[in-house]
Amino acid sequence: MPRLAVLGHPVGHSRSPAMQNAALAELGLGEEWSYEAIDAAPDAFEARVRRMADEGFVGANVTIPHKGAALALADESSEIAGKVGAANTLVFERGSIRADNTDAGGLLRALPGSPRGRRALVLGAGGAARAAIWGLAQAGAAVYVWNRTPARADATYAEIAAHIELGGAAEESPRQEDYGIVVNTTSVGLHGEDPFAHLPLSPAKFADQVVVDMVYGKEPSALLNAAERGGAHTVDGLEVLVQQGALSLEIWTGCEAPIEVMRAAARA
């Protein structure tokens, strides 16, 4: 019976078990495969992962705060996981642990069209930002990075630009109107903060852009509400979660993921 899981801390709020079990059922694998949530504190994470293969696990998703540790303990890693410096997907196979990152690909699949040739503004400079920067750059966008702490934007930009053409810059005062794509990877909005008090954006300056907010909750975020009123195409963090989960499921099962079923389950 192949087992799958998401490891996080905390993990109780995760939509992944509902979404992935619905997908497994739709694929006709629900009687054999299962997907559960496992809460692991940081000091217990590595030992927990190393027991998993013996317990029948064939793969796992990894979420906050374990994405860096997941990459570090793996025997092999995909190019994108290595370059992003974080893994959200593990595969247990023949006694070895392989790390992958589907966050970058998930963001790309959540966009309404190709970012090729467009200017993309990434807000933030943490792990979520690094995946977004890589994904957008690989897909041919010119990538600009803003962060509350500008030195961190400079460092993240320079580090990634050493490996791939970014075609943009670290920006301290970006002009919102100049970007076809805006991606918020900061935690602003997670605890009800006003995005327009903390991010270099104005609710009056959205146009027909694509605006992605990785933050998600029960209601659309204040950022996405304002972007939609301004005529933007909005993408929420739950759609990115669905798409990264679909890519992970495809890695583990080799089956094409049933996106509609996963989306419905994630939003239920």
Residues in contact with ligand ATR by the rule CB under 6 A: 124-129, 147-149, 152, 185-188, 193, 198
Q: Which is nearer to ligand ATR, 59 or 127 (CB)?
A: 127
| Minimum CB distance to ligand ATR, residue 53 (Å) | 27
Min separation Cβ 128 and ligand ATR, Å: 4
67 is catalytic: yes
Neighbouring CB atoms inside 10 A of 31's CB total: 9
Q: What does the chain come to in residues?
A: 268
From 67, 83, 205, 218, active-site residue? 67
The residue number whose beta carbon is nearest to ligand ATR equals 126
CB 130 within 8 A of CB 86: yes
Q: Please identify, using beta-carbon distances, which residue of 36 and 193 lies nearer to ligand ATR.
A: 193
Q: Among all chains, which residue has been given the structure tokens 């000091």? A: 43
* 189 or 258: CB nearest ligand ATR: 189
Cα separation, 92 vs 197, in Å, equals 44
Q: Taking the complex as a whole, how short is the minimal distance between the CB of residue 184 and ligand ATR, in angstroms?
A: 9
Contact 104, 82 (CB under 8 A): no
Is-contact 40 56, C-beta < 8 A?
no
**How far is residue 233's CA from residue 211's CA, in Å, rounded to a whole number?**
6
Q: What are the residue numbers of the active site? A: 67
